[in-house]
Amino acid sequence: MDVSAIFELPVHIWVTCDALAAKYPTGYGELRFSVVLPTDQPPLGGPPDVPGTASRAELTGDQVVWAQEYAAFIPESLRPATALHRVAMTDVDGPTYDDHRSWLTPDHQLARYVNRWFDDVRTWAEVVTGQDLDPNHRVYDAELDGVGLTFIEPSHDGAVGITVTMPHVRPLRAQEWADVLGLVRDGKQPPLEEVLSRDARAAHRRDADRRAIIDAATALEIALGRHVRRVADQLPAAQRQRISERTALGDYISIAEHSGLQLAVPVDRLRWLSRLRNDAAHHGAAPSHWDAGDAVQLMIDFLSAHGLLRRTGEREPDGGEWVLVDSENAEDKPRNSDDQ
């Protein structure tokens, strides 16, 4: 039985327009399938060239959004770009079962795993680009003030104002989109510090500043600890002996300082973030939103230079110039995404 389906993404993902109208292999676990992107037909995109789609009015109507460009700041080098709303899924192939799971045919497997697949895809997309793609806690670019209030005096009618923001978006390039789908198919997860970095950015955007500080400092601790251990044989003996399974962020900062290690972020700034983390974790102290934002940016700067996933090229206004690299050799050969 041939299986094909249309999937509406829980949250739209920004991609460059050269990624459209193409097929990409992906999968989840033992399930394999292809994702076909819509065509580039302004303003709402067009359905992909998949047999049977044209006969479904609910998929081809004038109001069906496949891909749409919204108001946002897009880096000049990544234009044109669009927000992906729907994709087609074809070439579905999964294991067959002769036991009590005989009902778990490839179409049922796709239905069971599609949301888990999306969660892995959006995690990689968030790590690579900095996009905020959490479907369970959406942050909107326009918010009404006073929703739910009914004023008796003064006699306001409904919301009394609106807050509008213009997001900076770093879309996925076509090759990055293909890489992400391949990584998900192969069951590869982003490095833990990059997931924590994603979580810190998301927490700060949602005004959860204490959570942002803890996640940012933990991501920093993982990356700094790995960096210090990697060069352990080059450290003075007294500093090398301080490294153990119980070495924490403050210790790593001290070791780096007394060893004269050259880091992308000044040691005093690292120590500042460590103090914020200690206050948040041990005393329940919440930093100011401004300090939390500075801490998150400090973390991003450190990971960009010393993490497993590196950034290259000119810095864009949104700070998003993530590239995918071979994590095992990240220190030796950062790969510019323009050279892929």
Residue 145 per-residue DSSP state = E
The predicted model gives 297-326 an average pLDDT of 70
Q: How confident is the model at residue 99 (pLDDT cuts 50, 70, 90)?
A: confident
The predicted model gives 223-252 an average pLDDT of 95
Q: How confident is the model at residue 325 (pLDDT cuts 50, 70, 90)?
A: very low
Q: What is the pLDDT of residue 105?
A: 93
223 shares a domain with 201: yes
Q: For the chain, what is the domain count?
A: 2
250 shares a domain with 140: no
Q: How many CA atoms lie within 13 A of 192 on its CB side?
A: 11
Examine the pLDDT at 322 and tell me if it is beyond 80: no
Average pLDDT value for the chain: 89
Give the integer Cα–Cα distance in Å for 278 and 265: 19
| More confidently predicted of 118 and 155 | 118
Examine the pLDDT at 227 and tell me if it is beyond 60: yes
For 157-215, the pLDDT digits (tens) are 666 678 888 889 999 999 999 999 999 999 999 999 999 999 999 999 999 999 999 99
Boundary-marking domain end, from 189, 207, 238:
189
Is the backbone peptide bond immediately before 80 cis, with ω within 30 degrees of 0?
A: yes
Give the integer Cα–Cα distance in Å for 213 and 17: 36
What is the SS3 assignment for 136? Answer: coil
- 339 is a domain residue: no
Distances (CA, A) of 130 to 9, 135, 293, 310: 18, 15, 14, 13
179 shares a domain with 39: yes
Contact (Cβ atoms closer than 8 angstroms) between residue 179 and residue 127:
no
Q: What is the pLDDT of residue 45?
A: 94
275 shares a domain with 252: yes
CA dihedral 210, 73, 133, 309 (to 10 degrees): -80
Residues in the chain: 340
Examine the pLDDT at 323 and tell me if it is beyond 90: no
244 shares a domain with 168: no
Q: What is the pLDDT of residue 14?
A: 98
For 252-274, the pLDDT digits (tens) are 999 999 999 999 999 999 999 99
Query: What's the gap between Cα 51 and its chain centre?
Result: 32
Q: What is the pLDDT of residue 102?
A: 83
Q: Tokens for 89, please give them.
A: 């899924």
61 shares a domain with 85: yes
107 shares a domain with 140: yes
Q: What is the pLDDT of residue 203?
A: 97
- 318 is a domain residue: no
54 shares a domain with 39: yes
State percent of the chain over pLDDT 90.
73
Contact (Cβ atoms closer than 8 angstroms) between residue 89 and residue 28:
no
218 shares a domain with 169: no
Examine the pLDDT at 294 and tell me if it is beyond 80: yes
185 shares a domain with 120: yes
Give the integer Cα–Cα distance in Å for 234 and 230: 9
Q: Tokens for 140, please give them.
A: 């909107």
205 shares a domain with 184: no
The predicted model gives 92-106 an average pLDDT of 88
State percent of the chain over pLDDT 70.
90
Examine the pLDDT at 324 and tell me if it is beyond 90: no
Examine the pLDDT at 61 and tell me if it is beyond 90: no
Domain extent, residue 205, equals 191-308
Q: How confident is the model at residue 314 (pLDDT cuts 50, 70, 90)?
A: low
172 shares a domain with 184: yes
- 315 is a domain residue: no
- 314 is a domain residue: no
Examine the pLDDT at 339 and tell me if it is beyond 90: no
Q: What is the pLDDT of residue 315?
A: 53
The predicted model gives 310-321 an average pLDDT of 54
